[in-house]
């Protein structure tokens, strides 16, 4: 099963997780794991999700979340896990 990695980077996190989770639930995307950390004063959140049952394609989810991010002033990216696997695992 291939997973999708969602990252949220921004200054503040009130309501952000709720917004992202609502979108994911509406689109049948299952959250497998959430972790977060602070890097250089920026809030970084990573979600590992399973989007295989979603009616939407990877690139559509990425576009939608990008738009939601712009609405609330944070950067939200959804990326297929392969890019990270390829780069960090032999």
Partner 1 sequence: MINIHEVIETNQMIEKENLDVRTITMGISLLDCADTNLDELNRKVFEKITTMAKDLVATGDRLGKKFGIPIVNKRISVTPIALVGSSACKTPEDFVTIAKTLDRAAKTVGVNFIGGYSALVSKGMTTADRLLIESIPQALAETDQVCSSVNVGSTRTGINMDAVRLMGEIVLKTAEATKEKDSLGCAKLVIFCNAPDDNPFMAGAFHGVTEADAIINVGVSGPGVVKTALESVRGADFGTLCETIKKTAFKITRVGQLIATEASKALGIPFGIVDLSLAPTPAVGDSVAEIFQEMGLEHAGAPGTTAALALLNDQVKKGGVMASSYVGGLSGAFIPVSEDQGMIDAVQAGALTLEKLEAMTCVCSVGLDMIAIPGSTNATTISGIIADEMAIGMINAKTTAVRLIPVIGKDVGDIVEFGGLLGYAPIMPVNNFSCDAFVARGGRIPAPIHSFKN
Pairing verdict, β 30-39 and 75-80: unpaired
Is residue 1 a contact residue for partner 1 (CB under 8 A)? no
Min separation Cβ 73 and partner 1, Å: 16
Say whether residue 39 binds partner 1 (CB under 8 A).
Answer: yes
Among 13, 48, 68, 72, binds partner 1 (CB under 8 A): 48
Distance in angstroms (rounded) separating the CA atoms of residues 39 and 26: 30
Question: Degrees (nearest 5) of the Cα angle 7, 12, 13?
Answer: 60
Q: Which stretch binds partner 1 (CB under 8 A): 12-20, 21-29, 34-42?
A: 34-42
């Amino acid at each position: 099963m291939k997973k999708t990695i969602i990252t949220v980077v921004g200054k503040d996190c009130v309501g952000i997780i709720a917004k992202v989770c609502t979108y994911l639930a509406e689109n049948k995307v299952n959250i497998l794991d959430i972790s977060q950390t602070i890097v250089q004063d920026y809030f970084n959140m990573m979600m590992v999700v399973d989007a295989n049952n979603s009616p939407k394609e990877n690139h559509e989810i990425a576009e939608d979340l990008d738009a939601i991010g712009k609405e609330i002033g944070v950067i939200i990216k959804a990326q297929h896990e392969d890019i990270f696997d390829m780069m960090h695992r032999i």
